Structures are given as structure tokens and as C-alpha cells.
Amino acid sequence: MPPKSLLQLWYDRGYHGSYEHNSRAVIQRYFGYWDLNPATLVPLSPEDSAPLYVEMMGGAKKIMAKSKELYDQGEYRYAMEILNKLVYAEPDNQAAKDLLADTYEQLGYQNESPSLRNSYLAGAKELRDGVVPVKAAKAGSPDFVRGTTTELFLGYLGIQMDSRKAEGMKFKINLVTPDNGEKFVMEMSNSTLTTLAGYQAKDADLTITIDAVTLRM
């Protein structure tokens, strides 16, 4: 942390970002994300590791008791550390989720940085109320297709494609749109649909000639 003499200046406070994240970003930019500890090189996922932690700590009851003790002492980060393991190991344990939400809430109240505070408070709400699905715009609507270039639309098709269903499929398609003078090669291989603009394949399985206006209808 900066010295107190600097922290007393309003423009040195963590109102935007945080010292923890900004210092981490500098290290990651110049040295990389790995801390050179072999144990963190290929870590287990939280879902895989959490049950082992819970078992070794003596189960949910002991974790809840210790977490409540730490919470009452104001040791919120310690409480968060073990409660997070329990919630990953037992995602239906609402008592653990509620206590972790209370812990996040206290950490949020104590943080001056909006990015940290909002993350803690958002996490608390999700633990209590569940994750509310966000309604995304329908990217495949006619308006979307009409407002998108042919190249972007073909790229969108590649993103939307189910690679599991495309296993073993292989083909090349030339696409020509005479009204705007564009041409493309679409290739399916290795369960991936790729598009190359400005070219035509000599060994294409199929050539489609269609106006871009008609393609977008």
C-alpha cells in the first residue's frame, strides 16, 4: 500500500480500480499470470477441489461454526476463504450461501473501490436470490442479418455452429455475391466452419452465386 502521506490525497485513493488489481495487472503484463509455483501451474477447478477441502476440514458443520466465529470477529476474508470452499462443494447449502453473502456484504461495505465493492455486493445478491438470466438480443433476427456485412454474417454462422454435430463433416463452398462484387470460401474441417473473404477454392464442392440483398432476406 502507498504511504499514508499519499493516501491522504484524494487523487491517490482507489476510487477507480484498486491497488490490489492494478499491481497485479502490472505484474501480469510484464511477467505473466503464473506465479512460478508448480502447484498453481495446472490447478484443479473449484468444483473438483472444494469437496476435498470440506472433507479435510471436518465437514459442513465445522466450517459453518468456524466461519460464524470469524465473521463475528470481523475476519471476513478468512471467513470467505473457507465458506467459498463449502459453497462450491455443496451448492444447495443455502445456510452456507447466506453466511457467505453476509460476508461479501461486509467486504463490500468496507471497500472504497467501486469495482471491488460492486463485485462483493453483486456476489451477495446472487447467493441470496440466484443468478437472474439476462435477456440477450436475438442476433439471428432478420433485422440483424440485414444490418450485418456478409463476412460478419458468415463468421456468425461459424460461431453458432454446434461443433459436436459437425464431427467428421468436411466440405468447401464458394460463395459469390455479384451485386456487391464480393466472394468467399467457406470451409468445414475439424468441426470448425471458417470463412476466407476475397478468395475462391479451385477444389470447392459447391459454388453458390446469389445477390447479397437476396442472401439477407
The 10s digit of each residue's pLDDT in 109-139 is 999 889 899 999 999 999 999 988 877 666 6
Read off the pTM.
0.70
Mean pLDDT over 157-181 rounds to: 93
The pLDDT confidence band at residue 76, using thresholds 50, 70 and 90, is very high
* Domain annotation for the chain: domains and CATH numbers: 4-129 (1.25.40.880), 142-215 (3.30.1050.10)
Instruction: Say how far apart CA 182 and CA 9 lie, in whole Å.
Output: 58
Q: Identify the pLDDT of residue 17.
A: 77
Least confident of 132-136, 161-165, 212-216: 132-136
Mean pLDDT over 25-48 rounds to: 91
